[in-house]
Structure 1
Amino acid sequence: MKDRLINLFARVGYQSQDISQSTTVPYWGYAVRVVPCANDAGTCEYFEAVYGGHERSMLYSGILWATIGGILLIWAILRHAYATPLAAAHTGSEKAPKARSTGFRIRRAIGAATRQYLLPQSLRSIFGRTTRLQILVLVIFTGYLTIWSFVGITYKAWRTPVKGYDNLYQTRSGLGPWSDRVGVIAYALTPFSVMLASRESILSQLTGIPYQNFNFLHRWLGYIIFVQSLLHTIGWTLIEAVYYQPQPQVANKWIAQLYMIWGCVAMILLLLLFVLSTPWAIRLTGYEFFRKSHYVLAMVYIGACWGHWEPLKAFLVPGLALWFVDRLIRAIRSGLIHYQFLPDGSMGFKTADAVATLFPDSENGDIVRLDYRHPQSPWNPGQHFYLCFTQASIWQSHPFTPLSLPVEKDGTVLHSYIFRAKKGETRKVAKQVASKLSTTEGNTAVTTPVVMQGPYGENLVSDLTPDVNVLCVAGGTGITYVLPVLLWLQRQAPSADRKISLVWAVRHHKDVEWVKPELEQLRSAASTHGLTISIFVTQDQETTSSQASDSEHSANEEKGSATRIRASRTDTHTSGRPDVGAVVPAFVNDVVRGRTVVVASGPGSMLSNIHTEVAKLNSGGKVYRGDERFDVELKCDDRLEW
């Protein structure tokens, strides 16, 4: 016990003191303190600053977590109190809309004003395709952490004699307590970082925000923890290797201690986590390597932090627990989905046998479509599942949004997916499908086993009341994100004056075959639901219309790089890329009444432009005065590239 105490004392700079004649006072998260102090006056005053600073560090960490918890609690309460219920089924009557209450208009005006100023993407060279709102949250959070990093520190220097040496002095200063402070905050933020990265996210349950929207803050919080840990390391290296005397004896003894060895290991692991999480490193090594290495390095890093400073394990245990609970819930959810009747009549784990159809594209990557029915409860349109293709690898899963409408029929729900097989796991699946097709003469589709996990994500139709206009914009395989919304709208009763439109950009005319059954369904609703479908073909030179006799050219819609052809009962193919800078405003300006929801998915450049255009169309003042056309919401899925 005595040896352990001496080891703890050495960590906080005790040079020499007879602890047998003193009393030890425990400190939560720190080394015990010897009282009364038997060193010189300067050293004793310094220890008072160190221990007092640590007490405040633990207090501020508690305030930090109380603030996070308070914000989440208030958010959850307000979300429940002001949740917008789905309107009753529309009767088709032509009654004028009821006047909105003042409270309703204020809430809508605040939302519109927020989107007007905070929806555009800014500082993309630093943050990537990130909205101003996300950047603002990061700036506020960083400022809040900065305040707690500097307040309550005794900023003073003490020059104290070294026992046993004549005319040799060491410098003690506020650098010690400050270095401890940033280290404590880095530990305190560890469980929050894990929460932000969890797929089974308690944050999503409280706020309603999909888990993937927290990835930006998770990444930058990791950078903050790295900077804090680096400053903590630099601070104590200066203290032990420069300011404490005599040198190099003090530095050599310090770095050889076990807790310092673990500290060096933790810093190296954190450096690797930082480097491997940068965009260029992910592009260089591949996303799957990043994901797997990130898991392993993060868990080993937390263990190294435990070895470095075990008294602060109160912050490390929750981080580990959250990670393991997240993994456990994932496994349980997947097990429940696949716990089905087996062919022999017993119950057990059964994969879903998906019918795979291949659409060859040697230039851009083959397209694979999967279709299967599975006994389960319907999910919400817009949600996605993680699919594991067991014949390729059981260690990887990828997120895919079902393009099918989740409707239960005879106890099962239809799953339909399309994805482009560029490289990695999806490429393996495409090759396996092609190989199977080559050995089955006359067949155009084969089966492949799939394991699901989910659903995850937001419900895109939760607030699509009959007076809401809907514009869906998709690029390539991003059509899977918007199709469930359109298919859901098709099943609702028609609403007078409502506008519904689909703008889809593909490379070739033949690409519409990916979702031919779903497009046929939508065509049947074109006349009854006021639905228009515009398909832009970006690479084929020829422009065709599926039913030219039913198409009308609109001169005032000739904007951007392509002319939009509006069809009354069918879809049209138009050469060129859709100019979202013209498409989005044209749709909103043509709205008769009600607000608009833009649902978009596709390449990053297109989504960035949509963010900008939707922001321009919002106006809090006009919405408050009753003009709901300027209340334009964006629901965006930027995970897909085409």
Structure 2
Amino acid sequence: MAAHETALLAARHIQNYSDAQELEPHWGYLARKLPCTNDAGSCAYLDQVYESHDLGMLYSGILWATIGSILFLWAIGRRAFPSTRADGLLYGTVGAAKSSTARIRRTIATYVRITLLPEAVRPIFGRTTRLQVLILAVLSGYLLIWSFAGIAYNTWITPVKNSPGLYNTRTSMGPWSDRIGILAYALTPLAILLSCRESILSVLTGIPYQGFNFLHRWLGYIIVIQGALHTIAWTIIEVRLYQPQPTTALEWATETYMIWGMGAMILSLLLFVLSTPWAIRLTGYEFFRKAHYVLAMVYVGACWGHWKQLKCFLLPSLLIFFLDRAIRLVRTGLIHYQYLPNGSMGFRAAQASLTHFSDPEHGDVVRMDFVHPQNAWKVGQHFYICFTECSIWQSHPFTPLNLPEIRNGLVSHSYIFRAKKGETKTVADLALKKASASDKVTTPLILTGPCGESIVETLTPDANVLCVAGGTGITSVLPVLLGLVQQPAVRDRKIQLVWAIRRKEDMHWVEQEINSIYKAAKSHNVEVHIYVTREASSRSPSLRDDKSTQGETQVREASGPSSAATSIKGVHTHTHTSIYVQKIGGEGFDRHPDLKKLVNEFVESTVAGPTGVYASGPCGMISDLRSIVASCNSGTKVWRGNERFDVSLTCDDRLEW
């Protein structure tokens, strides 16, 4: 045993190693000297310290074994029992027994949505579903039990060596403080695992990595609380309960392990403060992200310096963090390792053409289109894009609005985004500047991804589909619609798009895609309802703004150098309708569509099969839809065979980041 470790243990537990006959090893702690030659009270206290520590390590192992078992069973269940809502009996492929099993699963899923899909305690947890809050509550309860279990709560008054008349007050606060310190260390790799973009958790569970952000954030809060309690408890012990004072407190404060411990506590508080919404707004998201990375790794290093005996938790934390970043770099390199113009191989950025749509009031919109040699992604996945002409240190997540199709070895990419401030505003200004200079409006991009999971894996042929989008959120739902209209039409299937935009001209962001949907509207029973929320109708808001007698809706593109007069075709009839454009707003204010009415009418109008709602847009819209979709479900009706009331929600909440 090193001399400084011996001195450290002597300072804390008054053990003399010079006459030790045996050193008993303890995982995660310093070895114990046997036999104990101190006074009876000190020996009893040391018995409790080491027993509590060993139990803490055991409980940490149980915690990780529980997490591992859940993930293992989840991964096996996903593959052994694929999540499909189709009965199968409709197509004559399964027997009644399997049909009954599917009905039970659908009924259970329906009751789960009714109970856990709405949001819970928004002032505290933000826009988070009850399911996420329930998982956090279960984890918190689990940790609370292990923080106190197995500790014999007692007080020992022991004499101070070489100081007659002075006594130390030793309590179970010491073992308890060490216990929560162990749990804080044990949770560190889990917190980092929940933050990974290249997430093994997503591979095992099928949940997109952004679905773990809530637990990552709150697990960080728990670790900060645990660290604070650990620090406060030992400060009380060393400054108040141990004698003589202030000598004991000063010696303790200058110990190397204590300096590292205080450093770790300060770093964890900085991580907490900088992750609050007001701090992110003040410093900017990019500063928060980069500072978070650096501070987190320095924090892990400080924890190692404080108590390296628990490096069994810290080493995996470092490996997970750096492995995640390494995989990102490798994937980016593979995407851009292409043939160069001179015929050699090397790193080559993608060249995107930019189309600028002016909107001085709410922020200009930019559309990017380019082709790139790579493998196709899955519908619902997104890429992180770095605009190298602006900054190589920033990247932003964007969802392709087109289908991932390989043609002649190339895959087309199309994106739209609203430029309000920061990097996206710089890109919009760049596009406008190039266009005004009569230059070709292009910019080099670096892609990382694809990230996330498919959102149509469980979409069955009999499922009705309702897509709801607000503004640029149309990018996330368009691929779902484009994929459906390319498949063979399914009898009695109902498909509808509800898109809320501020101005009628905003339809030209995705004019090509809307026209593609229009061409298949009649054969696939597709309806497109576009609500203009910022422009007042010249007639009653309940009247449609289209001129059905013309058979074509004329639309002028937003003003700007790239604008051109175009049209979006739309037939307006009572059967097999296609595109409705309705102005519902007023001058100077927005009036949003009644989502509750629209979703309920859609579900009620379906003939058979479950309904999948795909949504992307502002935070408030997503919050409303969670409650609305939950209310549309009916476990009783689904159990009786009425699948129309099996309504699921898939939402892209990255707009909330």
TM-score norm. by structure 2 comes to 0.92
- Quote the offset at 1:363 in angstroms: 1.1
SS of 1:459 mapped into structure 2: coil
2:367 paired residue number: 369
* Cα distance change of structure 1 residues 549 and 382 upon mapping to structure 2, 3 Å threshold: farther
* Cα distance change of structure 1 residues 565 and 608 upon mapping to structure 2, 3 Å threshold: farther
In structure 1, C-alpha distance between the alignment counterparts of 2:502 and 2:511, rounded to whole Å: 16
Which among 343, 351, 357 is matched to residue 341 of structure 2?
A: 343
Q: Does residue 236 of the first structure (1) align with residue 222 of the second (2)?
A: no
* Cα distance change of structure 1 residues 84 and 143 upon mapping to structure 2, 3 Å threshold: closer
1:502 paired residue number: 497
SS of 2:183 mapped into structure 1: helix
User: Percent identity among equivalent residues?
Assistant: 56
SS of 1:540 mapped into structure 2: strand
* Cα distance change of structure 1 residues 88 and 188 upon mapping to structure 2, 3 Å threshold: closer
One-letter amino acid of the counterpart of residue 16, structure 2: Q
C-alpha contact 1:597 1:632 (8 A) present in aligned 2 = yes
- Quote the offset at 1:10 in angstroms: 3.7
- Quote the offset at 1:211 in angstroms: 0.3
- Quote the offset at 1:285 in angstroms: 1.8
* Cα distance change of structure 1 residues 153 and 322 upon mapping to structure 2, 3 Å threshold: same
- Quote the offset at 1:521 in angstroms: 0.5
C-alpha contact 1:94 1:496 (8 A) present in aligned 2 = no
1:44 paired residue number: 43
Which among 624, 646, 651 is matched to residue 631 of structure 1?
A: 646
1:601 paired residue number: 616
Which among 560, 568, 572 is matched to residue 580 of structure 2?
A: 572
SS of 1:290 mapped into structure 2: helix
- Quote the offset at 1:282 in angstroms: 1.5
C-alpha contact 2:122 2:128 (8 A) present in aligned 1 = yes
- Quote the offset at 1:420 in angstroms: 0.6
1:621 paired residue number: 636
Q: Does residue 530 of the first structure (1) align with residue 538 of the second (2)?
A: no
One-letter amino acid of the counterpart of residue 453, structure 2: E
One-letter amino acid of the counterpart of residue 8, structure 2: L
CA offsets 1:109-130 (integer angstroms, 9 cap, x no match):
1111100110001100000000
One-letter amino acid of the counterpart of residue 412, structure 1: L
2:564 paired residue number: none
In structure 2, C-alpha distance between the alignment counterparts of 1:604 and 1:7, rounded to whole Å: 56
In structure 1, C-alpha distance between the alignment counterparts of 2:108 and 2:649, rounded to whole Å: 15
SS of 1:414 mapped into structure 2: strand
2:140 paired residue number: 142
What is the aligned residue count?
Answer: 624
Which among 589, 598, 602 is matched to residue 583 of structure 1?
A: 598
C-alpha contact 2:210 2:654 (8 A) present in aligned 1 = no
Moved more, 248-257 or 426-435: 426-435
Structure ranking higher on relative contact order (CA contacts 8 Å, 6+ apart): 1
C-alpha contact 1:534 1:565 (8 A) present in aligned 2 = no
One-letter amino acid of the counterpart of residue 548, structure 1: S
* Cα distance change of structure 1 residues 94 and 462 upon mapping to structure 2, 3 Å threshold: closer
TM-score norm. by structure 1 comes to 0.94
In structure 1, C-alpha distance between the alignment counterparts of 2:41 and 2:573, rounded to whole Å: 83
In structure 2, C-alpha distance between the alignment counterparts of 1:377 and 1:88, rounded to whole Å: 33
In structure 2, C-alpha distance between the alignment counterparts of 1:566 and 1:605, rounded to whole Å: 32
One-letter amino acid of the counterpart of residue 6, structure 1: T
C-alpha contact 1:5 1:32 (8 A) present in aligned 2 = no
One-letter amino acid of the counterpart of residue 294, structure 1: H
Which among 171, 177, 181 is matched to residue 179 of structure 1?
A: 177
Runs of 4+ in 1 over 3 A off after TM superposition: 84-89, 93-100, 542-547, 564-570
**Residues 64-463 of structure 1 mapped to structure 2, 5 A cutoff:** 64-84=63-83, 101-440=99-438, 446-463=441-458
CA offsets 1:170-217 (integer angstroms, 9 cap, x no match):
110111110000000000111111100000000000000000000000
- Quote the offset at 1:542 in angstroms: 3.4
In structure 1, C-alpha distance between the alignment counterparts of 2:347 and 2:153, rounded to whole Å: 63
SS of 1:573 mapped into structure 2: strand
* Cα distance change of structure 1 residues 98 and 581 upon mapping to structure 2, 3 Å threshold: farther
Moved more, 1-10 or 124-133: 1-10
In structure 2, C-alpha distance between the alignment counterparts of 1:565 and 1:239, rounded to whole Å: 80
SS of 2:376 mapped into structure 1: coil
* Cα distance change of structure 1 residues 573 and 368 upon mapping to structure 2, 3 Å threshold: same
Which among 521, 533, 540 is matched to residue 535 of structure 2?
A: 540
C-alpha contact 2:465 2:494 (8 A) present in aligned 1 = yes
CA offsets 1:230-256 (integer angstroms, 9 cap, x no match):
111011111111111111110000000
1:556 paired residue number: none
In structure 1, C-alpha distance between the alignment counterparts of 2:17 and 2:458, rounded to whole Å: 71
In structure 2, C-alpha distance between the alignment counterparts of 1:42 and 1:266, rounded to whole Å: 32
In structure 1, C-alpha distance between the alignment counterparts of 2:144 and 2:118, rounded to whole Å: 27
- Quote the offset at 1:549 in angstroms: 3.0
- Quote the offset at 1:526 in angstroms: 1.1
1:473 paired residue number: 468
SS of 2:161 mapped into structure 1: coil
Q: Which runs of 5+ in 2 are unaligned?
A: 539-543, 552-571, 585-591
SS of 2:392 mapped into structure 1: coil
1:33 paired residue number: 32
C-alpha contact 1:86 1:462 (8 A) present in aligned 2 = no
* Cα distance change of structure 1 residues 87 and 336 upon mapping to structure 2, 3 Å threshold: farther
In structure 1, C-alpha distance between the alignment counterparts of 2:625 and 2:93, rounded to whole Å: 31
1:554 paired residue number: none
SS of 1:392 mapped into structure 2: coil
Q: Which runs of 5+ in 1 are unaligned?
A: 552-563
C-alpha contact 1:475 1:504 (8 A) present in aligned 2 = yes
In structure 1, C-alpha distance between the alignment counterparts of 2:387 and 2:447, rounded to whole Å: 9
- Quote the offset at 1:461 in angstroms: 1.9
In structure 2, C-alpha distance between the alignment counterparts of 1:158 and 1:166, rounded to whole Å: 17
SS of 2:352 mapped into structure 1: strand
After superposition, the CA RMSD in angstroms is 2.3
One-letter amino acid of the counterpart of residue 63, structure 1: I
C-alpha contact 1:8 1:32 (8 A) present in aligned 2 = no
- Quote the offset at 1:164 in angstroms: 2.2
* Cα distance change of structure 1 residues 428 and 10 upon mapping to structure 2, 3 Å threshold: farther
